[in-house]
A and B are shown apart, each in its own frame.
Chain A
Amino acid sequence: AQRVTQPEKLLSVFKGAPVELKCNYSYSGSPELFWYVQYSRQRLQLLLRHISRESIKGFTADLNKGETSFHLKKPFAQEEDSAMYYCALRSYNTDKLIFGTGTRLQVFP
């Protein structure tokens, strides 16, 4: 079965501090991993996906198949990064898009 785990419900940091939002997954096949973000009063939107290997708004995420993790990182957090972040998984064998429980990031000035 597909499962995504985000162990932290809330992560609070000060502006300029490094940020790491954890995501672990379980899936026996070869999944695709995503990070979605929901800013206040906005729609949920894609932040980045593993296959693109890109950096968006300073965020990066590396897929570690050995540890089945896809942690989201940013070296210097900004106040505008405050939002709800969801890790998501989609497999090549099913059409389901499964989300984790989400982590709320608060960045204080």
Chain B
Amino acid sequence: DAGITQSPRHKVTETGTPVTLRCHQTENHRYMYWYRQDPGHGLRLIHYSYGVKDTDKGEVSDGYSVSRSKTEDFLLTLESATSSQTSVYFCAISDTGRADTEAFFGQGTRLTVV
């Protein structure tokens, strides 16, 4: 497995509280992605990064922000968690921006907002 670690693995939080999920990689890959996985919706891209301090929005970015201050860490923040953000969150990395490059995934973080 590529060196990708997501933390925490499980979290329960209350509506309205801020939450930060961390993705840490040891592969020195340039690209990092955050997805959420929901039944019937598959994997949807939230935000992604193409370098340190370089980020862009994905399909479902409302309510989420990201930061990447160093190559190995990509943080996803829910400023004020809502029940609709209950989901499984996956981080992915890829080495290059070439279209044929494989992406490697973390083990996921299960977030429950009550």
Categorize the interface residue count of chain A: 20 to 34
Q: Residues of B at under 8 Å CB distance from A?
A: 1, 31, 33, 35, 40-45, 48, 50, 56, 58-59, 90, 92, 94, 97-108
Q: Verify A31–B90 contact, CB threshold 8 A.
A: no
- Please name all residues of chain A whose beta carbon is closer than 8 Å to the beta carbon of B100 when the two chains form the complex: 32, 49-51, 90
Q: Verify B105–A97 contact, CB threshold 8 A.
A: no
Q: Verify A9–B33 contact, CB threshold 8 A.
A: no
Q: Verify A99–B42 contact, CB threshold 8 A.
A: yes
- Please name all residues of chain B whose beta carbon is closer than 8 Å to the beta carbon of A25 when the two chains form the complex: none
- Report the minimum CB–CB distance from B31 to chain A (whole Å): 6
Residue contacts A-B, CB under 8 angstroms, 25 given: A6-B42, A32-B99, A36-B103, A43-B106, A44-B92, A44-B105, A45-B104, A46-B103, A51-B100, A86-B43, A90-B99, A92-B98, A92-B99, A95-B48, A95-B50, A95-B56, A95-B97, A96-B45, A96-B48, A97-B45, A97-B94, A97-B103, A99-B42, A100-B42, A102-B42
